[in-house]
Structure 1
Amino acid sequence: MNLNQIIEAFLSLSIQNGGWMELDRFYLKNRILLLVGEKLLEEESQTVELFQGTAEKMVDELINYALANKKIENDQASKNVLKAQLFDLLMPPPAVVNAFFAQYYSKTPQDATDYFYQLNRKSGYVKKYESLESMTVEAGYGEMTFKLMTDQTKKTSETAANEFAAACIQEKSSPQCPYCFESEGYAEQKAENSMKRFIRMNLQGESWGFQFATDEQYSEQFFISPEKHSSLEYGKRGINRMTQILDVFPHYFISLKDDGSIRHGCYEGGKEQFPLFHKSISRYIELADFPLLNIGTVYWPFPVIRLQSPNKEDITEAAAVVLNRWEKSIKTIEDNIFISIIGRRKEGTYEFDLLFTNADKTTENREIDRQKFSIAELSGVLNLYDAELIKTEEIERSGRIEQLSEQYLGQLLQTDLFKRVDSRIESFEDFLTELEKN
């Protein structure tokens, strides 16, 4: 493929993404030619066959031309600067993205998120790694899902966020972490960040930003963070905000989990239907103040309390009662022990799960190697990034995954907060008894 084919494909993608119009084609082409050090291209007589690679591949090819023309030095810093400049031409400005989002949202919420997600995918900001194989294993508490992924070096969102924050602190740069609004278009740490866009939201009278994860761990993984760099409330106000997010995006689930490090709290969610979501309440309990609320436990490797109601006020108030009861059941509040919370909408009903787990992994394993369980892992999905495992024969691979399922289940069992030495209540059963007395 020659330079003309690559540029024409680049122009088509830029215009298709909405940042530029057809009238801008010559202007945009000249901008690219200037960046890579080429003169005006002669138009070919026949129809130009477009370059078929990804946006990232197109940018890499353009950088090669810039190197050949000695437009930039052959070092990583110079390449990253040019990469960021080219990527930025692929994505519309934030105001345009937000305007299009609002226009699509006037049709349906899913139309809006579909637009924003596809924009991020086509430009290459969201890198979706499809699984080579997905296996469902009966793990004693119901079915768990194991996905063999193509990228064995992929980082979790938490790890990437921590590295970003550490680099920003070291360089004393403006954005403190990737959840800060100042990180929009900030490409100092990673050139692809020049394409980052936030959808502005108003939640409880405060400014928040919606963004998709650049390295998604499950379908349409996203984060919603406050404009102010601060932690999130785990009480009534925080849960009420989760129900508001579900009203805005009823087709997504939303979760709240302590990340253990970054002080800029954020909600995490997506479109995936995890195995936990398909489980039913196995034992109902009663809260006297909420006669119309379904509340009970879910049979899972660690304690889970589920609340169901069409009334979001009941969900908010009842969840606060459970959280308050839990705070009284531990010896010291200073431990900052948080319960993971996952909420979703089901046919007009709000359904919230309270996960009583410290989310820490207790054993080392070459495939299961992260320090904390993600929301996906707590909900029954484990992504495996292991080249050797991918290459093995089906029978051997199946046996290995069964072994991993036992290790995975064992680790989940050990996250039970009621087994901590600092818990005043001896068992989950005792906690439920105390809860019903309130």
Structure 2
Amino acid sequence: MIDLLIQQLIDQAIAAALIEKEDEVYARNQMLSLLHTADFKELELLAEANREEIPDILEGIVEFACRQGIIEDIFDEKEIFASKIMNCLIARPSTVNRLFFEKYQQSPEAATEYFYKLSKDSNYIQMKRIRNNIEYKVPTEYGELDITINLSKPEKDPKSIAREREAKQTAYPKCLLCVENEGYAGRIGHPARSNHRMIRVNLQDQTWYLQYSPYVYYNEHCIVLSEKHTDMKISPDSFRRLLSFVEQFPHYFLGSNADLPIVGGSILSHDHYQGGNYEFAMAKAEDDWTFKIADFPEVQGSVVKWPMSVIRLRSKETVALVEAGTHILQKWKAYSDEIVGIYAWTEETPHNTITPIARKRGDVFELDLVLRNNRTSEDHPLGIFHPHADVHHIKKENIGLIEVMGLAVLPARLKNELVEVENYILGRETAMAAYHLDWAEELKSQYGTAANEENIAAIVREEVGKKFLRVLEDAGVFKRDEEGRAGFERFIRTL
């Protein structure tokens, strides 16, 4: 049985161009060593119709290792072992980088297509798990928002959780984004990365590293990370790097989370950006109104029609964009307007920052600057410009770069909870969470007998999308009403 699984995996690796036919014996021996066996019965190449996909074959090999007592049947050990098996079938980082840049000579698209396929075929991007996500779009006045209920990260078993608590703490790698994760076997509490590869990219005469997110939320969802473990910081250098990247990879966008708690991403301890080959609703959003900045005549400015407060700068000259973006960043960091509740400081604590996003359209570069403020209050202890309490039953977490652009990453709990909301609206027996009650009552009153078995799922999905729109509106520093428009104009005049 294990011989068959090994042969299947090798056949699929050759078919996916992970290895070549000449590598077959070497790769097999590497796997046999991990499986603590020196015996192998050669088998005929399996017919195409009988071949399983790589993740399924891998699961079979991991289960064999558990049965043989090679590894313990707990989540982290199985992940580490699966990653080690796949590492037998992937080239070293130097070879991957050489092939990437050979393909880059054909086109940037050819290079990223190669690396994205490698990252999926090697099971580093776990597409089988990602397919469990619930994904759909909801039309709004701002365009179609993307909704994702994240089901791709499997829940750990109690034994894994207990082992994680007991595990000895180590500072290597310092975090999940450090370059030292490339090829790292993993440990209890730190993900397996034996099958992980990174591309070295030159940004402003520094080496940065391109990788894909192991749990992609959109097409070619990539991460570009600093070689050094340094804190996130939005600066003129950030703008230079973002624009340098999209100049080299014009089919990708690249953006950064903000650099302050509440409005920043989940990892603020390592400078990094996120990008990919995908056009979000925000990127498609039209200009609401335009303006010029006297000191930067080569740059066209606009305020974007979007629930959050977005300034879009356009120019053919990246230097001019960086200078204009820096001017706005510096003005915003020091800006207060008590009429709309914006304060730049509380004593020594700064509150204003920016979420920047760069892209290229033809020969024109765009730099979107999303204005952020992380102040809290008694009424809004998690953040004034953060999802408010009445939407926490859907989304309570920080609004980072991906959400800013119009993609909701919602918690896995909603998969079952929304079914119970549907039951409540239809008057069926339900175990609905109490925090959904007010919302469910509203929907029941709104839709009444118009809701039925056929349309209830679509109704609830659309209403979740409307809640996410509210989340974005809450996070906007200048609201899209008369007072907010006047406030935004006051800020623009300071430029």
TM range (shorter): 0.7 to 0.9
Residue 135 (structure 1) aligns with: 137
Give 1:361's match in structure 2, choosing from 381, 384, 387. Answer: 387
Distance change in 2, residues 1:74/1:225 (3 Å):
closer
**1:226: how far off?**
1.2
Name the counterpart of 1:23.
22
Question: What is the identity, as a one-letter code, of the residue corresponding to 1:248?
Answer: Q
Q: 1:35 to 1:396 in 2, by over 3 A?
A: same
Taking the aligned partners of 1:260 and 1:337, their CA distance within structure 2 comes to 18
Given the superposition, is the C-alpha separation of residues 298 and 82 from structure 1 closer, same or farther in structure 2, using an over 3 Å criterion? closer
Correspondences of 1:194-233 after superposition (within 5 Å): 194-233=194-233
CA distance 1:394–1:105, change in 2 (3 Å):
farther
Q: Tell me the CA shift for residue 198 of structure 1.
A: 1.1
Report the alpha carbon displacement of residue 244 of structure 1 after superposing the two structures with TM: 0.5
Q: CA deviation at 1:56?
A: 3.0
Matched, 1:172 2:170: yes
CA gap 1:204/1:232 in 2 versus in 1, 3 angstroms: farther
**Contact 2:329-2:353 within 8 A present in 1 as well:** no
Q: How much is the aligned-residue C-alpha RMSD, in angstroms?
A: 3.0
Give 1:286-365 correspondences, 5 Å limit.
286-330=292-336, 331-332=344-345, 334-335=349-350, 337-358=352-373, 360-363=386-389
Quote the residue 1:234 is aligned against: 234
2:406 counterpart residue number: 380
Distance 1:416 1:90 in 2: 47
Which residue identity does 1:276 align to in structure 2?
A: M
Measured at CA, do residues 366 and 126 of structure 1 come closer, stay the same or move farther in structure 2, by a change above 3 Å? farther
Q: Residue 371 of structure 1 aligns to which amino acid in structure 2?
A: E
Matched residue type, 2:178: C
Superposition deviation, residue 61 in structure 1: 1.1
Distance 1:370 1:81 in 2: 32
**Residue 398 of structure 1 corresponds to which residue in structure 2?**
458
With normalisation by structure 1, the TM-score equals: 0.85
Question: SS of the counterpart of 2:278?
Answer: coil
Q: Determine the structure 2 residue equivalent to 1:245.
A: 245
Q: Which amino acid aligns with 2:388?
A: T
Q: Per-residue displacement from partner, 1:53-92 (whole Å, max 9, x unpaired)?
A: 3333222211232344444455556545533321211322
- 8 A contact 1:83–1:191 mirrored in 2: no
Contact 1:91 1:123 in 2 (8 A): yes
Shift in Å, 1:216: 1.1
**Distance in 2 of aligned mates of 1:248 and 1:327:** 30
How many angstroms apart in 2 are the aligned matches of 1:12 and 1:20?
10
Please identify, of 425-434 and 96-105, the stretch whose mean Cα deviation from structure 2 is larger.
Answer: 425-434
Deviates further, 293-302 or 396-405: 396-405
- The alpha-carbon deviation at position 307 of structure 1 amounts to 0.7
Q: Judging changes above 3 Å, is the alpha-carbon distance between structure 1 residues 152 and 369 closer, same or farther for their aligned structure 2 residues?
A: farther
- Match of 1:297, SS state, is strand
Change (3 A) 1:338 1:327: closer
Q: Give matches, 1:41-190, under 5 Å.
A: 41-44=40-43, 47-49=45-47, 52-74=51-73, 79-128=78-127, 129-130=130-131, 134-138=136-140, 140=141, 142-147=142-147, 149=149, 151-152=150-151, 154=153, 171-186=169-184, 187-188=186-187, 189=189
For the residue of structure 2 that corresponds to 1:302, the secondary structure is: coil
The aligned counterpart of 2:285 is 279
**Cα deviation digits, residues 341-398 of structure 1 (max 9, x gap):** 1110001110111111347333365773351123232122324553344796551122
383-392 vs 303-312, which deviates more? 383-392
Alignment match, 1:422: none
Checking the alignment, whether the CA contact within 8 Å between 1:144 and 1:275 is kept in structure 2 is yes
Per-residue deviation, 1:337: 3.2
Q: Counterpart of 1:382 in 2: which secondary structure? A: strand
Taking structure 1 as reference, are residues 390 and 12 closer, same or farther at Cα in structure 2, changes over 3 Å only?
farther
**Distance of 1:297 and 1:216 partners within structure 2:** 30
Q: Paired residue for 2:443?
A: none
Give the Cα separation in 2 of the matches to 1:74 and 1:148.
30
Cα deviations across residues 81-124 of structure 1 (Å, max 9, x unaligned)?
Answer: 53332121132211111111111111111100100000011111
Change (3 A) 1:418 1:260: farther
Aligned equivalents of 1:237 and 1:81: distance in 2? 37
CA distance in 2, matches of 1:93, 1:192: 16
User: For residues 412-423 of structure 1, what are the structure 2 equivalents within 5 Å?
Assistant: 412-418=472-478
Q: How many residues align?
A: 415
**Structure 1 unaligned residues grouped into runs of 5+:** 156-162, 420-424
Per the alignment, residue 5 of structure 2 pairs with: 6
Equivalent position SS for 2:455: helix
CA shift for structure 1 position 275? 0.9
Q: Which amino acid aligns with 1:214?
A: P
1:86/1:296 Cα in 2 relative to 1: closer, same or farther (>3 Å)? same
Once residues 301 and 191 of structure 1 are traced to their aligned partners in structure 2, the CA distance between those partners, rounded to angstroms, is 36
Asked if the contact 2:288–2:304 (Cα under 8 Å) also holds between the matched residues in 1, the reply is yes
TM-superposed deviation, 1:417: 3.0
Q: Supply the distance in 1 between the matched residues of 2:298 and 2:400 (Cα, whole angstroms).
A: 32
Whole-angstrom distance in 2 between the partners of 1:48 and 1:406: 50
Q: 1:243 to 1:133 in 2, by over 3 A?
A: closer
